[in-house]
């Protein structure tokens, strides 16, 4: 009898890239559904649109690169990128911007570097930043959450707004749109208003923007799923959220009227999404445990610094991309002490 | 969970980094009692079943050998002998397929057994080993062909030799058997705890250890009970059975030492450097057999298991028995056998045929089904998830080593401590991209060794060359020194003769005139661009030699100046 010769180990492998990606998608769903609940059909339309465009773009480039298409498509990594970008986009963003962002993310940020595993930068964040710096107006035209929205659009109205750019009669963009809580807080503070004053407005919930903070809670649940399934380790989310919280609390206690409470920063903008889903992207993050703590903390730090003193209301995307650049160096200097070696580094 | 009743582990246990909880798959091969495998018609004995130099064949084709007779003796310090596992006729001494990852054949002695199983004359039993000279005990272990039976098959006598650099204070006995499916040590402990304890006592005496710790995973309650029983019954000092949690690879030498003692064996050093010697339980039993009964190592317990065989079980097989016969005695193939593995699923290697003999190191023959060992499929790109680093028992960064191994950047792989890798397979097992990481590391290690060999030979050539240059420089210096000495002597004699008139000395005037002529000639030639040569006034024969030398030099070419200069020197 003849047997195949295969290298060890000879076991049923417990993990696969596809399953890992599938869990990321599953964990993202609670937050995504909450987004759709508060901000309408647009969220779901962009998720589907971006996914389709991502898969098409990936298949196309793989064909050009003469690489097998199916194994790469079926690992679901393109879909994850698409969904992460989609949930960060304004719900009524014109369709072609979504397509532009995701195609740039997949083609330039991912495939031109060699595809999955080789991209130095988080593709979803590259796509997001491209759109944000090129189309700042469109990218900051948000909707108010459902409880504050006087004119919620139905499914067909949303479709026509996204694909044709027409709103129902009697509505214009100014009447429909609203700033994000981070944007609102920043604008008000820039007008030298005090936090106690600003928070009089019905826009606010317990910590952050009304509605927004609940989306944050659902992302937190998603993060718990990822941690429980050991898709991610606690190091990056904890250090990133910790850094944001420490910075925000520090300045809050120094000057309570011009720096919102720490949890405002946690529950606003992309903080929770970024901490559990973006910064933890294994390909572009630091891989040593100590390195992950540094990496996460720096993302939190940069996020707060740009939010507070920089030119953008939110900064998770910038912070992640900046730290992506530093990840290889962080890894190099944070190698764990090898068993049986005393001199090399430390624990 | 079972713990021995009287002695709960009072000892503090330590942890090592990483590790995996794997499906154990040990129950299926422990339900039937171990029996002796049937005497095969043919025994195939590779002359190298150990680490070190191959043994030298002592028999001729056609010779009759008796059971237990040495048929190949150890060559050099690190080597092990081979004995005839049964009586019969040596039918051939030739290359034969053996159980080796390379699949290459090796020199084997083939014995056609005669069914008599007739024992030859055995060396006398050493009943009171405590009164025996340690050298004699070690020699007995050496001539009994005993090697580590845990898998590494390092000659045991070398391990037990007294160490110059450090006293051994602890003997660690490895009874962890952490790999899934393998149960041969478990069954051996159930069946022969007495012999194991005897062997341990001998080894402890030999290395002069004050204490002995037997490390056993808590998934072997029967073995723990059997060992506890004999230890409590006998009057033994400082031999302690320590039940440790089941966690792969706690049976790795360095991992087990860490768990039991909290000490880390320094990287690149042996356990002896921290006063510890580690041996397997099977080895202990073999030592007892050799010393107390004079019996060489001719058989071992082997687990034949997996869904690919009908009746998974343990067999006591003669070394040299073909894998196919053992499969046969485990009920034959079930039709589900998809992969045949020598060793366990984590570190074992696949055989493409079962027609290979089992050797001293063979602990398990695993006929795995596709359920047990599915094809992992194509490896995809590393996504740097770091799961490999989380499970690595040595705290390596396999994702980095993989990156550099793939790029053949050997220096970088070593910077990331490639040589601390114990090839346990944890990283490959958890890799979501199904990258055969361990295989990459084995490859990188081999490349490093190759490079090291090349570097060594280049270094040797360089040293030879430098020695030659030094020799030439020395000769030149000696020549100059001689000339100066002569000159000084001349000057001294001249100064002593100062009293006489120099001009009046006709000899001196003649010398001076000759020197002047020579200087003038030299100046003239220099003007004409001709350098003085010592080839000007030569006989015809000498001239021919010079021409031949010139021709040879030309033929060598101008490029290789070093060779040319060597040629010149000759």
Please report, for chain B, the start and end positions of each structural domain, with discontinuous segments joined by +. Answer: 27-342, 379-489
Is residue B44 helix, strand or coil? strand
Q: Is B380's CB within 8 Å of A71's CB?
A: yes
Contact B47, B55 (CB under 8 A): yes
Q: Which of A7, A16, A342 sits opposite B436 (nearest CB)?
A: A7
For A:39-98, CB contacts with B below 8 A are 71-72, 75, 77
Write down the pLDDT at residue B506: 76
Per-residue CA distances from B404 to A26, B163, B400, B418 (Å): 34, 38, 6, 10
B176: part of which helix (H) or strand (E)? none
Report the SS3 class of residue B81.
Answer: coil
The answer to whether the Cβ–Cβ distance between A3 and B433 falls below 8 Å is no
Identity of the residue in A5, A16, A288 whose CB atom sits nearest the CB atom of B432: A16
Unique residue bearing structure tokens 């994702």: B399
Neighbours of A214 (CB within 10 A): 20
Closest partner residue to B267 (CB to CB) among A77, A331, A338 is A338
**Cβ contacts (< 8 Å) between A338 and chain B: which residues?**
267, 394-396, 417, 420
Write down the residue that tokens 């051996």 correspond to.
B188
Subunit contact A20:B366, Cβ cutoff 8 A: no
Is residue B211 classed as helix, strand or coil in its secondary structure?
strand
pLDDT at res. B529: 67
Among B384, B427, B438, B439, which would you mutate to test the A interface (most chain A Cβ atoms within 10 Å of its Cβ)?
A: B384
CB pair distance less than 8 Å for A340 and B346: no
Decide if B375 touches A, using CB distance below 8 A: yes
pLDDT, position A346? 41
Q: For residue A291, what are its two tokens?
A: 């390195």
Is some CB atom of chain A closer than 8 A to the CB atom of B376? yes
Decide if B380 touches A, using CB distance below 8 A: yes
- Inter-residue contact B69 to B120 (CB < 8 Å): yes
> Which B positions 100-159 lie with beta carbon below 8 A of chain A?
103
Contact A30, A222 (CB under 8 A): yes
Could A15 and B340 be called an inter-chain contact, meaning their C-beta atoms sit closer than 8 Å?
A: no
- Tell me if residue B198 falls in helix, strand or coil: helix
Q: Which of B157, B226, B155, B152 is nearest to B196 (CA)?
A: B226
Q: Which helix (H) or strand (E) holds B90?
A: strand B88-97
| CB of B391 less than 8 A from some CB of A | no
Query: Is B308 an 8 Å CB contact of chain A?
Result: no
Q: Which of B383, B388, B400, B428 to mutate to test the interface with A (most CBs of A within 10 A)?
A: B383
Which residues of chain A make contact with B433, given a CB cutoff of 8 A?
17, 117
Q: Say whether B341 and A10 touch across the interface (CB within 8 A).
A: yes
- The neighbouring-strand residues paired with B439 are none
Q: Which residue has the tokens 């070093």?
A: B562
**pLDDT recorded at residue B343:** 92
**Looking at the DSSP assignment, which residues form a beta bridge with residue B341?**
B350, B366
- Measured between CA atoms, the residue of chain B closest to residue A338 is B395
CB pair distance less than 8 Å for A116 and B381? yes
Looking at the complex, does the CB of residue A343 fall below 8 Å from at least one CB of chain B? no
Output DSSP code: residue A146: G
Is B432 an 8 Å CB contact of chain A?
yes
The CATH architecture assigned to B379-489 reads Orthogonal Bundle (1.10)
- A112 DSSP assignment: G
Preceding peptide of A9 cis, ω within 30°: yes
Q: How far apart are CA B170 and CA A134, in angstroms?
A: 70
Q: Could you give the CA distance from residue A168 to residue A151 in angstroms, rounded to a whole number?
A: 10
CB contact at 8 A, A197 and A172: no
Tokens matching residue A336: 């764990």
- Complete DSSP assignment for A76-109: -HHHHHHHHHHTTS-TT--HHHHHHHHHIIIIII
What CA–CA distance (Å, rounded) separates B249 from B246?
9
Q: Is B70 on the interface with A (CB under 8 A)?
A: no
CB B48 within 8 A of CB B54: yes
Q: Are strands B170-175 and B105-113 parallel, antiparallel or unpaired?
A: unpaired
A10/B375 touch (CB, cutoff 8 Å), yes or no: no
What is the nearest CA distance from B440 to chain A, expressed in angstroms? 10
pLDDT for B405 equals: 92
B353/chain A closest Cα distance in angstroms: 5
pLDDT of residue B501: 53
Number of residues that make up chain B = 570
A168 close to B (CB below 8 A): no
pLDDT of residue B570: 43
CA distance B560 to chain A (A): 43
Q: How far apart are CA A272 and CA A263, in angstroms?
A: 11
State the maximum Cα–Cα separation within chain B, in Å, rounded to a whole number.
120
Closest B-chain CA to A328:
B400
Compute the nearest-CA separation of A332 from chain B (Å): 9
Neighbours of B101 (CB within 10 A): 15
Report helix angle B134-143 to B193-207, nearest 10: 130
B414 touches chain A (CB under 8 A): no
**Superfamily for domain range B27-342:** NADH-ubiquinone oxidoreductase 51kDa subunit (3.40.50.11540)
Contact A338 B384 (CB under 8 A): no
The shortest C-alpha distance from A58 to chain B (Å) reads 15
Please, which residues bridge with residue B211 across strands? B170
* Residue whose C-alpha is closest to residue B188's, from B318, B319, B302, B50: B302
Q: What is the pLDDT of residue A328?
A: 93
User: Would the CA dihedral through B327, B328, B334, B337 be positive or negative?
Assistant: positive
Which tokens is A332 given? 């190099």
Compute the distance between CA of residue B93 and CA of residue B95 in angstroms, rounded to an integer. Answer: 7
Point out the residue among B353, B368, B384 whose CB comes nearest to the CB of A10. Answer: B368
How confident is the model at residue B564, as a pLDDT? 42
CA angle B113, B119, B123 (to 5 degrees): 135
- Helices within B174-220 (DSSP H only): 184-191, 193-207
Alpha-helix runs per DSSP H in B94-179 = 134-143, 156-160
Q: How many CB pairs under 8 A join A and B?
A: 171
Which residue in chain A is spatially nearest to B338 when comparing CA positions?
Answer: A3
pLDDT tens for each residue of chain A, 347 residues long: 778 888 889 999 989 999 999 999 999 999 999 999 999 999 999 999 999 999 999 999 999 999 889 888 999 999 999 999 999 999 999 999 999 999 999 999 999 999 999 999 999 999 999 999 999 989 988 888 888 888 888 899 999 999 998 888 888 888 888 888 888 888 888 888 888 888 888 888 888 888 888 999 999 999 999 999 999 999 999 999 999 999 999 999 998 888 888 898 999 888 999 999 999 999 999 999 999 999 999 999 999 999 988 888 888 999 999 999 999 999 999 999 999 887 544 43
Predicted ipTM?
Answer: 0.88
B416 at interface of A, judged by CB pairs closer than 8 A: yes
Residues 6+ apart with CB under 8 A from A147: A210, A211
Q: Which of A168, A169, A189, A171 is nearest to A179 (CA)?
A: A189
B-chain residues near A2 (CB < 8 A)? 352-353
Note whether A347 contacts B: Cβ–Cβ < 8 A.
no
Per the structure block, which two tokens stand in for B346? 């984590």
Residues of chain B short of pLDDT 70, as ranges, are 1-10, 497-504, 529-537, 557-570
Q: Which residues touch A211 (CB under 8 Å, ≥6 apart)? A: A38, A39, A145, A146, A147, A148, A205
In whole angstroms, give the CA distance from residue A289 to residue A236: 9
Does A75 sit within 8 Å of B380, measured CB to CB? Answer: yes
Whether A344 contacts chain B with CB within 8 A: yes
The predicted pLDDT at position B132 comes to: 85
- DSSP one-letter string for A23-56: HHHHHHHHHHHHHHHHH-HHHHHHHHHHHHHHHH
Tell me how crowded residue B452 is: count the other CB atoms within 10 A of its CB: 11
- Going by C-alpha positions, the residue among A114, A118, A130, A115 that lies closest to residue A54 is A115
A169 touches chain B (CB under 8 A): no
Distance from CA of B68 to the nearest CA of A (A): 32
Q: How close B306 gets to chain A, by Cα (Å)?
A: 12
- Give the pLDDT confidence score for residue A347 in this predicted structure: 39
Question: Which residue is closest to B370 within chain A, CA to CA?
Answer: A12
Q: Do B438 and A335 touch (CB under 8 A)?
A: no
Task: Give per-residue burial for A269-284: e unless 16+ CB within 10 Å, then b.
Answer: bbbbbbbbbbbbbbbb
The torsion of the CA quartet B249, B253, B257, B258, rounded to 10 degrees, works out to -40
Q: Does the distance separating the beta carbons of B383 and A288 come in below 8 Å?
A: no
E strand segments, B105-146: 105-113
Query: Are residues B442 and B421 in contact, defined by beta-carbon separation less than 8 angstroms?
Result: no
Q: Do A339 and B390 touch (CB under 8 A)?
A: no
pLDDT at residue B189, rounded to an integer: 94
The whole-angstrom separation of Cα B107 and Cα B187 is 32
Question: B143 to chain A nearest CA, in Å?
Answer: 34
| Residue B393 contacts A, CB cutoff 8 Å | yes
Which two structure tokens, joined as six digits, stand for A20? 């890992």
Q: Which of A3, A8, A123, A231 to mutate to test the interface with B (most CBs of B within 10 A)?
A: A8
> Residues of A with CB below 8 A from B333's CB?
1
Which sign does the torsion angle of CA B193, B195, B200, B205 carry?
A: positive
């Amino acid at each position: 009898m003849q047997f195949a010769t295969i290298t060890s180990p000879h076991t049923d492998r417990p993990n696969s890239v596809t399953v890992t990606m599938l869990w990321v998608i599953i964990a993202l769903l609670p937050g995504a559904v909450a987004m759709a609940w508060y901000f309408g059909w647009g969220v779901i339309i962009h998720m589907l649109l971006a996914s389709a465009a991502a898969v098409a773009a990936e298949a196309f480039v793989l064909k050009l690169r003469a690489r097998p298409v199916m194994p790469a498509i079926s690992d679901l990594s393109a879909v994850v990128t698409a969904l992460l970008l989609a949930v960060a986009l304004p719900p009524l963003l014109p369709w072609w911007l979504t397509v532009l962002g995701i195609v740039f993310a997949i083609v330039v940020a991912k495939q031109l570097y060699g595809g999955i595993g080789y991209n130095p930068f988080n593709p979803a964040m590259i796509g997001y930043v491209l759109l944000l710096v090129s189309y700042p107006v469109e990218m900051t035209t948000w909707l108010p959450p459902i409880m504050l929205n006087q004119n919620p659009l139905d499914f067909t109205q949303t479709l026509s707004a996204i694909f044709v750019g027409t709103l129902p009669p009697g509505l214009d963009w100014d009447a429909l749109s609203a700033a994000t809580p981070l944007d609102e807080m920043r604008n008000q503070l820039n007008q030298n208003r005090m936090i106690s004053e600003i928070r009089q407005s019905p826009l606010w919930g317990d910590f952050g923007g009304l509605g927004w903070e609940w989306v944050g809670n659902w992302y937190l649940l998603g993060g718990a799923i990822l941690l429980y399934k050991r898709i991610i380790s606690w190091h990056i989310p904890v250090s990133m959220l910790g850094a944001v919280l420490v910075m925000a609390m520090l300045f809050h206690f120094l000057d309570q009227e011009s720096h919102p409470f720490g949890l405002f920063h946690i529950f606003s903008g992309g903080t929770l999404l970024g901490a559990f889903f973006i910064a933890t992207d294994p390909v572009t993050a630091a891989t040593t445990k100590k390195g992950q703590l540094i990496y996460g903390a720096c993302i939190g730090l940069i996020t707060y610094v740009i939010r507070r003193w920089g030119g953008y209301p939110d900064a998770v995307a910038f912070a992640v991309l900046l730290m992506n650049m530093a990840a290889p160096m962080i890894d190099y200097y944070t190698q764990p002490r090898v068993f049986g070696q005393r001199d090399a580094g430390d624990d | 969970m079972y713990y021995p009743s009287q002695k709960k582990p009072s000892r503090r246990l330590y942890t090592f980094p990483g590790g995996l909880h794997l499906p154990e798959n040990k129950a299926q091969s422990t339900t039937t009692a171990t029996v002796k495998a049937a005497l095969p018609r043919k025994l195939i004995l590779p002359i190298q079943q150990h680490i070190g130099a191959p043994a030298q064949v002592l028999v001729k084709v056609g010779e009759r050998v008796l059971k237990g007779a040495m048929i190949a003796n150890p060559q050099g310090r690190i080597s092990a002998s081979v004995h005839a596992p049964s009586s019969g006729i040596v039918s051939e001494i030739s290359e034969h397929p053996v159980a080796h990852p390379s699949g290459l054949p090796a020199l084997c002695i083939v014995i056609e057994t005669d069914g008599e199983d007739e024992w030859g004359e055995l060396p006398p039993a050493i009943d009171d080993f405590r009164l025996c000279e340690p050298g004699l005990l070690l020699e007995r272990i050496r001539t009994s062909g005993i090697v580590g039976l845990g898998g590494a098959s390092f000659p045991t006598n070398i391990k037990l030799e007294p160490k110059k650099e450090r006293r051994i204070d602890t003997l660690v006995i490895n009874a962890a058997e952490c790999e899934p499916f393998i149960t041969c040590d478990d069954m051996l402990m159930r069946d022969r705890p007495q012999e194991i304890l005897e062997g341990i006592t001998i080894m402890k005496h030999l290395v002069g250890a004050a204490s002995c710790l037997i490390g056993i995973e808590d998934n072997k309650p029967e073995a723990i009970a059997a060992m506890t029983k004999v230890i409590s019954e006998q009057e033994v000092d400082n031999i302690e059975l320590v039940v440790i949690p089941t966690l792969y690879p706690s049976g790795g030498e360095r991992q087990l030492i860490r768990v039991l003692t909290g000490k880390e064996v320094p990287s690149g050093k042996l356990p002896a450097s921290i006063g510890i010697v580690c041996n397997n339980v099977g080895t202990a039993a073999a030592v007892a057999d050799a010393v107390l009964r004079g019996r060489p190592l001719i058989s071992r317990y082997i687990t034949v298991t997996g869904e690919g065989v009908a009746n998974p079980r343990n067999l006591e097989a003669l070394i040299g028995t073909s894998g196919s016969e053992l499969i046969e005695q485990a009920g034959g193939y079930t039709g589900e056998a998809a992969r045949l593995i020598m060793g366990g699923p984590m570190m074992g290697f696949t055989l493409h045929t079962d027609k290979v003999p089992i050797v001293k190191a063979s602990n398990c023959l695993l006929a795995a089904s596709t359920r047990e060992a599915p094809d992992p499929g194509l490896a995809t790109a590393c996504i740097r998830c770091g799961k490999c680093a989380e499970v690595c028992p040595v705290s390596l960064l396999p994702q980095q080593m993989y990156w550099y191994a793939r790029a053949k950047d050997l220096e970088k792989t070593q910077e990331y401590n490639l040589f601390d890798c114990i090839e346990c397979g944890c990283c490959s097992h958890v890799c979501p991209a199904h990258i055969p990481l361990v295989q990459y590391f084995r490859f990188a290690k081999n490349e490093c060794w190759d490079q090291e060999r090349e570097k060594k030979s280049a270094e040797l050539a360089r040293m030879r060359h430098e020695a030659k240059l030094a020799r030439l420089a020395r000769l030149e210096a000696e020549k100059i020194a001689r000339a100066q000495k002569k000159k000084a002597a001349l000057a001294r004699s001249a100064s002593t003769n100062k009293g006489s008139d120099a001009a009046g000395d006709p000899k001196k005037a003649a010398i001076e005139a000759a020197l002047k002529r020579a200087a003038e000639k030299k100046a003239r030639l220099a003007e004409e661009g001709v350098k003085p040569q010592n080839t000007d006034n030569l006989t015809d024969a000498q001239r021919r030699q010079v021409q031949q030398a010139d021709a040879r030099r030309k033929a060598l070419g101008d490029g290789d100046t070093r060779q040319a200069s060597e040629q010149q020197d000759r």
